[in-house]
Amino acid sequence: MFRIAFYQPCIPGNTGNAIRTSAATGTELHLIEPLGFDLSDAKLRRAGLDYHDLASVTIHPDLDSAFENWSGARVFAFTASAEQIYSDIAYFPGDVLLFGPEPTGLPAEVLADPRLTGRLRIPMIAGRRSLNLSNAASIAAYEAWRQHGFSTGER
């Protein structure tokens, strides 16, 4: 399946929502430290409801550790400044959909990382700054999954 990765997320509710998306879609959720909250935060638990046990969540101490874990996988960084639209990519199982922290997005040094496969954007009306982090991750994850017929790999 696909992987959603949050680089240094700040808002526990967004990560909780991503846990629900991960559980509902079978995607893995990767969190790259430092996190702007404690994993026992009530807002994270509330947003994730009872899906925490149904989701695959991995925490990495830094981006290098995450890339080691994803060895050989394609990694797409999502940024409002990218030229290529997210739906123009043919996604492969194992691809990583990397998102930056609220409210700044991925920093320049991450966007310049040569290990990235590409930089993608989700279209918005001109003059809008960004989408909510968990909503953007859901849009991308569902597009990748849609391209594979919403297959779960189960029979």
**What confidence tens digit (pLDDT) does each residue in 109-135 have?**
999 999 999 999 999 999 888 899 999
Q: How confident is the model over 140-148, as a mean pLDDT?
A: 97
How far is it, in rounded angstroms, from Cα 142 to Cα 139?
Answer: 5
152 lies in a domain? no
Q: What is the pTM of this model?
A: 0.93
Q: What is the pLDDT of residue 83?
A: 96
Structural domain range at position 56: 3-146
Domain with 68 in it: what CATH number?
3.40.1280.10
Give CA–CA dist 24/46, Å, rounded.
Answer: 16
- C-alpha of 32 from chain center: 10
DSSP state of 16: H
154 part of a folded domain: no
Tokens of 10: 């700040």
Q: What is the mean pLDDT of residues 88-117?
A: 96
> Residue 129 and residue 113: Cα distance in Å, rounded?
23
Question: Nearest to residue 13, comparing CAs of 36, 37, 47, 41?
Answer: 47
What is the spatial distance between Cα 152 and Cα 155, in angstroms, rounded to a whole number? 8
Q: How confident is the model at residue 155 (pLDDT cuts 50, 70, 90)?
A: very low
Residue 101 lies in a domain: yes
State the total domains in the chain: 1
Residue scoring higher pLDDT (46 or 125): 125
- Average pLDDT on 39-51 reads 64
